[in-house]
Chains A and B, each alone.
Chain A
């Protein structure tokens, strides 16, 4: 399992965080490091502990064990109102009795320690409103705004005190699909422009993939994997991570020989397709390191498989199969295909002539090298 350790000193460091509610252990020792300027997502199904982790970061909840450092300073016991971070709430939690302007100014007015002049306050609020394109609505009340506009206000309000870290708790949850994509683009652009560190909590895999520099996958209170979206999606550290993105095909293969000069690569024979492939495996020395004649579980995403009508071509590196069903999803067609050995795989294909159920096809891998899931984690 990767630990998410970075070279540069991290902005946020979480060590051995544990939290228990009654008999239930919600966080089972979480270690995290988030770098300055990163868009970092905490991804997990509901009940995985991501909200608790967020609440501990914000200071609404205290951890039973473990420490929390923000900007190199221990913040484990810093009171909520003194933490150098702000939170964008899931349902925005805007103040309905205040105008947009007053909402955004709230954090600046209330922090008396950072005494700023009236003029500075106005400038900063106006900058925030401009940044979030809410200037024309400054005199409106939250109840008079659309969902997307409310979200922008929540963002402006949280950014106004210039926190070094912004926490976002499923901020897109209340938006419809079209608006969500637009807001995602806007959010990402804003984060890049400000160079701010975002910690984004979501249960939506696609959202996490689209937005993040890195993702931490949380499952039942423990981190399964921390890595780039590509690491998580294409090179999952375990079957549980792989299963988080639905429709990953797992094909069995038998190790034939190591590839010389490449320590983590082996040649293997995939029985389902009846072809020889190269596969990357867990580092040797690890308990699940490959040995000759070992069985590998190859992860192949639906879009990394290719099918062709049998009559059209006859590739050497392909296997015979039959289409069982097809669904048209607009930008792609999704086929359920049964291989010669009886296994079902899902193939997603954009473009090409549609293939009808019942037709014979040939299936092949698009990649020369496949990712093998660690053994012993089934």
Chain B
């Protein structure tokens, strides 16, 4: 029985990670083609890292990711706190919760299309009336924020569920003002959730294709990494360079998700329930 379980775990792990391992292995291929494995070289890493188009896409991707993650974190945390304070008012709390969660569950392609329509039909024309132009960068950031808010809301809420509000009263009773009570008692306890949410929204933003594709204004030269891949297709034979860039992207995503877990563990007080 225990043996069967081990085999099961091994198979699932294989199923989950084999494609990623293959990708990483192929990024070292000496072949000219992305789908062939011949020999070992770091040449494609050198080329990828010195390719100005790749460099530009990396910078764009990270700028979008950090900016949208920062905004999602602020807005998602505020939303989680609002839901927490409304948890006695069942309908309002649940409605807010569903509202924040919906973008997580909605098909991303639908979300992308919706954002495209909203931006191109409503937001851009109305901004133009004020003489403002909405470029690709802010549009994509805004789109990624809609994705990120839900993650932050969930991770912060998970922390809030274990938070006893009597602690705020206790702090207040001991002489703390309301803001002091929040910053010294509540904030440190939800911080792991906030950080986890921030890391997840970073990863989601780096990974996103649909929203970026639909929302960015075509032809402006705006490219996140996933858009860069997309644009490579069909133009030329794919070289292992694409595997290299994918491996790097994978590495960053992994780093963010891992740090979300590690930070949560590290920030938790010993013996704390969660």
Interface mask (B159-188 → A, CB under 8 Å = 1, otherwise 0): 000001011011111111100100011001
Q: Is the CB of B174 within 8 A of A106?
A: yes
- Whether B173 lies near A110 (C-beta < 8 A) is no
- Min Cβ gap A129→B in Å is 16
Docked complex: A92-135 residues within 8 A CB-CB of B: 93-98, 106-107, 110-111
The interface centre, meaning the residue of A95, A106, A141 with most chain B CB atoms within 10 A of its CB, is: A95
Measured between beta carbons, the chain B residues less than 8 angstroms from A322 are: none
- Whether a CB of chain B sits under 8 angstroms from the CB of A157 is yes
Nearest A residue to B162 by beta-carbon distance? A96
Q: Given A110-B180, A141-B269, A141-B271 in contact, is the A93-B174 Cβ separation under 8 Å? A: no
The stretch among A80-88, A218-226, A297-305 that forms the contact with chain B is A80-88
Number of inter-chain CB pairs below 8 Å: 84
Query: Which residues from chain A contact B172 at a C-beta distance below 8 Å?
Result: 60, 80-81
Give A19-32 as 1s and 0s: 1 = Cβ < 8 Å from B's Cβ atoms.
Answer: 00000000000000
**Bound CA–CA A111/B184 (angstroms):** 13
Contact of B173 among A87, A95, A144 (CB under 8 A): A87
A58 touches B173 (CB 8 A): yes
Report how far A110 CA is from B176 CA in the complex, Å.
6
Docked-complex contact A91 and B173, CB < 8 angstroms: no
From residue A158, how far is it (CB to closest CB) to chain B in Å?
8
Instruction: Indicate if B270 sits at the interface (CB-CB under 8 A).
Output: yes
CB pair A89–B270 under 8 Å, yes or no, is no
Contact A93–B164 (Cβ < 8 Å): yes
Contact A93 B184 (CB under 8 A): no
Closest-CB distance, A308 to chain B (whole angstroms): 54
**Smallest beta-carbon distance A121→chain B, Å:** 13
From residue A89, how far is it (CB to closest CB) to chain B in Å? 5
Give Cα A59 to B178, complex, Å: 13
B27 interface residue, CB < 8 Å from A? no
Question: CB-CB < 8 A to B185: which residues of A?
Answer: 95
B175 touches A107 (CB 8 A): yes
Q: Does A143 contact B (CB under 8 A)?
A: yes
- Contact, CB under 8 Å: B184 / A110: yes
- Chain B: CB-nearest residue to A107: B174
A142 within 8 A of B: yes
* A143 contacts B184, C-beta separation under 8 Å: no
Q: Hey, what's the 0/1 contact readout for B246-274 against A, CB within 8 Å counting as 1?
A: 00000000000000000000000111110
Which residues of A (159-178) have their CB < 8 Å from a CB of B? 161
Task: Indicate if the CB atoms of A93 and B189 lie closer than 8 Å.
Answer: no
Q: Tell whether, in the assembled complex, residue A143 and residue B269 are in contact, meaning their CB atoms are under 8 Å apart.
A: yes
- Complex: A59 Cα to B177 Cα, angstroms: 13
Smallest CB separation, A155 vs chain B (Å): 13
When the two chains form their complex, are residues A161 and B174 in contact, meaning their CB atoms are under 8 A apart? yes
Output the nearest chain A residue to B163 by Cβ-Cβ distance. Answer: A96
Cβ 8 A contact of B272, one of A111, A141, A158: A141
Minimum CB distance partner of B189 in chain A: A97
Contacts of A90 in B (CB 8 A): 166
Q: Which of A87, A93, A107, A141 contacts B270 (CB 8 A)?
A: A141
Would A143 and B173 be within 8 Å (CB), given that A89-B166, A91-B164 are in contact? no
Q: Give the contacts of B183-215 with A (CB-CB under 8 A).
A: 184-185, 188-189
The residue of chain A having its C-beta at the shortest distance from the C-beta of B175 within the complex is A111
Contact A81 B177 (CB under 8 A): yes
- Find the A residue at minimum CB distance from B187: A97
- 10 further contact pairs, Cβ within 8 A, besides A87-B173, A89-B170, A141-B269: A81-B174, A87-B170, A94-B167, A95-B170, A97-B272, A106-B176, A111-B174, A141-B270, A143-B273, A158-B173
* CB-based closest 9 A-B pairs: A143-B271, A107-B174, A93-B166, A144-B271, A111-B175, A93-B170, A110-B176, A97-B269, A141-B269
* A residues lining the B interface (CB < 8 Å): 58-60, 80-83, 86-87, 89-91, 93-98, 106-107, 110-111, 140-145, 157-158, 161
For this complex, 30 residue pairs linking A to B, each with C-beta atoms less than 8 Å apart, are A58-B173, A59-B173, A60-B173, A80-B172, A81-B172, A81-B173, A87-B170, A89-B169, A91-B166, A93-B166, A93-B167, A94-B170, A95-B167, A95-B170, A95-B185, A96-B273, A97-B272, A106-B171, A106-B174, A106-B176, A107-B175, A110-B171, A110-B174, A110-B180, A141-B269, A141-B270, A143-B272, A144-B271, A158-B174, A161-B175
Tell me the B residues contacting A by CB distance below 8 Å: 164, 166-167, 169-177, 180, 184-185, 188-189, 269-273
